[in-house]
Amino acid sequence: DDGLWRLGPHGVEPVRLPDGRTVRHLAASPGLLWLITHDRMLYRHRPATGEWTRVRSALPLDTRLGTVGDGRVFLSDDVHGLRMLDDAGREHPVSGASTLHAATVHPDGLGNTWIGTPTHGLWRLRPRDVAMLHAPGFGGRAPGRVVEDDERGGLWLGFGCEGLWYRAPSGEVTRLPLEDAMQDACTASLFYDAAQATLWIGSSTGGLGRLRDARLEMAWQWPGAKMLGIWRSRDGTWWAGSSQGVRRLDIDADGTVQAAHAIPGVADVNVARLADAHAGGIWVVGDRGVFRVR
């Protein structure tokens, strides 16, 4: 209520406000000072020249002004939501936050923007990013069938019958020729075992491949099966699903498949998906409906 003051190397000195107004909110961006006064006006001040500009008048009640943390300034109220101000005083709505009245805004450097509101809690804003990734050299003709995280920032990708691909954290994409060790290059499923640093690969002709220490080898073959899906339930049991139902696999610690046990009741199901059942056992989803195996 006692005006605007500037703290400098020689102490504190008053800064004359337009018409002697009282400051309600204050924010700074490089080379600029922004103020909201008690009579709901927005001003921009250039300390280097002493210039004052009235940017907006008749602001909604409880309009907030503040910094984002990276040099930007925001303006917010419960009528228009959150906006960013450019140096000319133009307002730019924030996509996804048009209904949020912000008291504080903080980007954490990890892609999140945290928004604290006066009455509606804490919000996190993340931009959405949708992009298309094709198998290189195939012009989008190879269907994307399966993707698996390697838990190190990279992705394993299965593009139909164009083999197995790896997208490194740098964005570089390379191809692994499945046909060198398996019967074909058609990927049906992927499962990455982080504990063993092993990628399991199910093929469209019923083969199960194993990639470990940059070595690819065939681990098991389900005769006559199509579209082999490899999966491990939360109790550690390994399962395979295909056009010929479901089998429970006995896999040693070294990755050797010792036995495959058929599951009665779902032998003629063309399996599309396996999932844990909260009440125990697993769900089997296929062309004949949904079954629970216990």
For residues 161 and 149, what is the distance between their CA atoms, to the nearest angstrom? 20
Question: pLDDT tens track of the chain, all 294 residues?
Answer: 788 999 989 899 998 888 767 899 999 999 999 999 999 999 999 999 999 999 999 999 999 999 997 789 999 999 999 999 999 999 999 888 888 999 999 988 888 899 999 989 999 988 777 777 776 666 667 788 899 999 888 999 998 888 889 999 888 888 888 888 887 889 999 999 988 899 999 999 999 999 999 899 999 999 999 999 999 999 999 999 999 999 999 999 888 999 999 999 999 899 999 999 999 999 999 999 999 999
The count of residues in the chain is 294
Residue appearing with tokens 């280097």 = 48
Beta bridge partners of 90: none
Token pair, residue 55, equals: 């940017």
The DSSP output letter for 114 is: E
Those residues with Cβ within 8 angstroms of residue 183's Cβ, 6 or more apart along the chain or in another chain: 203, 205, 207
Write the burial class of residue 188 (CB in 10 Å: 0-12 exposed, 13-18 middle, 19+ buried).
Answer: buried
For residues 115 and 64, what is the distance between their CA atoms, to the nearest angstrom? 13
For residues 216 and 272, what is the distance between their CA atoms, to the nearest angstrom? 25
The DSSP output letter for 40 is: S
For residues 124 and 112, what is the distance between their CA atoms, to the nearest angstrom? 6
The DSSP output letter for 256 is: -
